[in-house]
Amino acid sequence: MKPTLEVLRDGPTSAAVGPPLLLVHGGYFAAWCWENFQPYLADRGYASYAPSLRGHGGSPGIERIDSFRTAEYVADVVSVLETIDEPPVLVGHSMGGGLVQRVVAEHGDRVRGAVLLSSLPPDGFSKGAAFGWLRSGMRPLMQLSKLHRGKLPPDAPDSPETFPYSCFFHGDLPAERLASYGRRMQRESQRAGKELTRRVVRDPGAIRVPIAVIAGAEDWFFPPVVAERTARAYGVEPILVPGTGHAAMLDTGWEEVAEHILAFLPRCVTR
C-alpha cells in the first residue's frame, strides 16, 4: 500500500510560463528544504511540487525509516509524478538526485528534463568523496554519523559545535537560520544508505532527456570532482556555484542556483 505523502505545492497566480517542477529532497531533509525555491519559482511563473519521501517530514513512516529501500523512495517520486497534469522537470538534491536518475531511466517518457543538484553520481557513492570527508577531520564525521542514526541530543541544532552544519553549509548564514534548518533535519534510512554505495543507473548514456548538473563549489559532501564525473557521464558541462555548499537550495548563493535552473528550463519545453 502506498503511503499518503506530504506534498508542498506552489505556483504562479496567473498562467504558468513553462513546465512544472517536481522537487525531490535528499537524505536528512524533507519537502521543507525547498522553502526558498518554491516561492522564487512561483514568482517567475513556474508551478512546483515538493514531496516528503516516506519517513521524512510530514509523511508517515519515521518509526520504520531504517527499513526503507531506495526502490520505495523511487516509488514515492513516481506516485507524485503521476498526479501532475503534464510532464514535469525533475530536480533532485543529493540522494534525491540519485532517485531522479532512476526515475528518468525508467520513466523518461513522462518527464521533460532533470536537474541533478549536488547529486549522488550515477555510479553511486564514491571512495573519493569518503576520502575528502576524512581530510576534513573526525568531528564532522562523528556528528554526521549521529545525525544519520538519530543519536544527536535535542539541543544539538543550537550549536555548530554539536551539529554537522559544516557538512551541508559553507556560506555565512545567520545562526538562527542554521538552527531552524538543523531542528528540521532528521535521521536517514540505514538500508538506503548502504544501497547508494552501488551503481544508481546502469547506462547514463541511454537517457535522452535534457540533463543539468549543478553543485556548490564548496560542497563537502560531494565535492566538485563528483559533479564533474556526473556531468561527464551525461555529456554535459557541470555548473559550480562559488561559495555554496552541499545544501545548495538553502545555503548562501541559493538564488544563483535557482537562476541556473531557470536558465535550463527552456531546453525542456519542446519535449
User: pLDDT, tens digit, for every residue of 150-195?
Assistant: 888 888 888 877 888 988 999 889 999 999 999 999 999 989 988 8
Domains of the chain: 7-124+188-268 (3.40.50.1820)
What is residue 142's predicted lDDT score, i.e. its pLDDT? 79
Whole-structure pTM value: 0.95
User: pLDDT, tens digit, for every residue of 185-235?
Assistant: 999 998 998 888 888 899 998 999 999 999 999 998 888 989 999 999 999
User: pLDDT, tens digit, for every residue of 6-24?
Assistant: 999 999 999 999 999 999 9
User: pLDDT, tens digit, for every residue of 69-117?
Assistant: 999 999 999 999 999 999 999 999 999 999 999 999 999 999 999 999 9
Task: Give the per-residue SS3 of the chain.
Answer: CCCCCCEEEECCCCCCCCCCEEEECCCCCCHHHHCCHHHHHHHCCCCEEEECCCCCCCCCCHHHHHHCCHHHHHHHHHHHHCCCCCCCEEEEECHHHHHHHHHHHHHHHHCCEEEEECCCCCCCCCHHHHHHHHHCCHHHHHHHHHHHHCCCCCCHHHCCCCCCHHHHCCCCCCHHHHHHHHCCCCCCCHHHHHHCCCCCCCCHHHCCCCEEEEEECCCCCCCHHHHHHHHHHHCCCCEEECCCCCCCCCCCCHHHHHHHHHHHHHHHCCC
What is residue 162's predicted lDDT score, i.e. its pLDDT? 84
- Region 123-137: mean pLDDT is 61
